Homo-oligomer: A and B are copies of this chain.
Amino acid sequence: MIDQNIKIAVDAIVFGYEKGTLYVLTVQQRFGELADKWVLPGGFVKDEEPLLAAVERELKEEAGINVNYLEQLGTFGDDINRDDRFRVVSVAYFALVNPQNFVLKADTDAKDAKWFPLNQLPQLGYDHDEMVRLAHQRLKSKLTYQPIGFDLLDQEFLFSDLENLYCSILERSIERRNFRKKILSFGIVKETSKVVKIGNSGRPGKLFVFDKAKYNQLSKENFQFDIRFA
């Protein structure tokens, strides 16, 4: 056995999107030097545990939730002092979910679990601010080339809901007419015959649905979702 004193951990950046706001899931540390500090859910990997199983377990233990589709963001281990106690290399995962589908429940190492709006996030412990920044960057980029946003909307949605989602996550304005034209040109968003009143204006707005079957079919035919030029 080689002599090496480095520990390996996992951390999760779980983004939630709801009604125009992008949230990040955080937990409040119960023990140790960082007690009461907010951090990302995470912890040490067990000897017989796949990395992905470790991050799923930590999310269950510390925040009481099951998250599917966690994707590896990257591994943090260039700063050998990123943990004051001893050297820890952390494999970070991220996900995007609808917070409405989750009931948070802190336990084990976490005394509280909470969704913070990304723009009101307190300073997190360790290098977790940097993890969130990188995960947000990756999320922005992913949003432009994969239709990951539709899972976060109601099944029937206003075009303005979709626009708001893109504006919130990309943190910029969108040229609305281009965006609409581009999205509709893909043929994966269908207009329904239903109309609802938009917000306080009372103006009628058509409802749309995402045609996932069509998207899956097009994907096989080398179709590429892409709204980078919107």
Contact = CB atoms under 8 A, between A and B. Distances in A.
Interface of A: 1-2, 4-8, 44-53, 72, 74-75, 77-80, 85-87, 89, 91, 224, 226, 228-229
A90 to B, nearest CB: 10
A82 to B, nearest CB: 10
Per CB-CB distance, the 6 closest pairs between chain A and chain B, nearest first, are A50-B78, A51-B77, A75-B75, A75-B91, A5-B47, A6-B8
A6 B87 contact: no
B50 A77 contact: yes
A4 B45 contact: yes
Given A44-B2, A224-B229, A8 B77 contact: yes
A47 B1 CA distance: 15
Number of identical protomers: 2
A4 B7 contact: yes
Nearest to A50: B78
14 contacts: A1-B85, A2-B7, A4-B45, A8-B8, A8-B89, A47-B80, A47-B87, A48-B80, A51-B77, A51-B78, A51-B89, A53-B78, A75-B75, A89-B91
Contacts of A89: 8, 45, 51, 91
Contacts of A72: 74-75
Contacts of A77: 8, 45, 50-51, 91
A10 to B, nearest CB: 9
A226 to B, nearest CB: 7
A48 B79 CA distance: 10
Contacts of A87: 47
A72 B77 CA distance: 11
Contacts of A53: 78
Contacts of A4: 7-8, 44-47
Nearest to A91: B75
Contacts of A52: 78
Nearest to A74: B72
A1 B86 contact: yes
A87 B7 CA distance: 12
A91 B73 CA distance: 12
